[in-house]
Amino acid sequence: MLPNLATRYAQQIKTKATELGFDFCGISKAQFLEEEAPRLEAWLHKNYHGKMAYMANHFDKRLDPRRLVEGARSVISVLLNYYPDQKLPEGNDDFKISKYAYGTDYHYVLKEKLGELMVYMNQEIGEVNGRVFVDSAPVMDKVWAQRSGVGWVGKHSNLINRDMGSFFFIGEIICDLDLTPDGPIRDYCGTCTRCVDACPTAAIAQPYVVDASKCISYFTIELKEAIPQEVKGKFENWIFGCDICQDVCPWNSFSRPHKTPAFSPSPELREFTNGDWQEISEEVFKEVFRRSAIKRTQLAGLKRNIDFVSGQ
């Protein structure tokens, strides 16, 4: 493709992404992730993925997007802000859920928007072979987002954007369109170690390396069996996910409220008290969390988490 066409198409896609509500859009070249291969191998070898066996699957596909989409030339990365205009109670005694789970499950929202972007690309640019990804396949989304210049991966392993912090969902389109890539930006974490120091379970094994098997989010969402007793009293009342490492990050002082109504909590959830959480029934669970990421734990898992942080 001619260089000017590659640049023009890239700009068209970014403009449309903004129209669809995405906060940032960047492009990287689809290629083998040579630098990440040994890091991923070492991470898996140390069993930092815990019981998440799927993380060890499809090693080659995880490192090369061309194995996921035949003829792939570009990875389009998008960020969608989910920082709330009003937080749910987060006092010392309040049961807490991660801000990403306040509203509608992000998979639905991002897939719909990215689907619209794919339709636009096919209509305005021509037939494009591509796939939409939102945690739905072995794609290293934070790596691709970093390579596309929309942020850098911080010491807590989350993507940070200089303008708006780290409370973002990430999605991708991997396609066979030759687009002008943006290139990465530098790391602005500097000497700061607030996230490392703040983690109550010491899940950040070293800067930029997270032992997921020690993470509160892992224990409360991914782990299907009993939570180990050695982390008793360390959850600071988080019953679904955890935002501690992001909450203490200085870059999140730049966070601004999202503009996606679907990410706002329902009136029922806004009024939840500790008693409501402890007494939640199957009926209420299904109604309040019908399209929520919290459904992943199922009611039994949520009650396990509540009992664990309550000392039961």
298 vs 291: CA distance, rounded Å: 12
240 vs 96: CA distance, rounded Å: 7
153 vs 170: CA distance, rounded Å: 12
CB 104 within 8 A of CB 292: yes
Measured between its terminal Cα atoms, the distance across the chain in Å is: 63
- How many CA within 13 A on the CB side of residue 85? 8
- Compute how many other C-beta atoms are within 10 angstroms of the C-beta atom of residue 312: 9
Beta-bridge mates of residue 77: 26, 172
42 vs 26: CA distance, rounded Å: 28
211: closest CA among 219, 222, 220, 202? 202
The single residue of 60, 85, 94, 135 carrying the catalytic annotation is 135
135 is catalytic: yes
Question: Position 134: which residue type?
Answer: V
Q: Largest alpha-carbon pair distance within the chain?
A: 65
- Compute how many other C-beta atoms are within 10 angstroms of the C-beta atom of residue 224: 11
Positions marked catalytic: 135
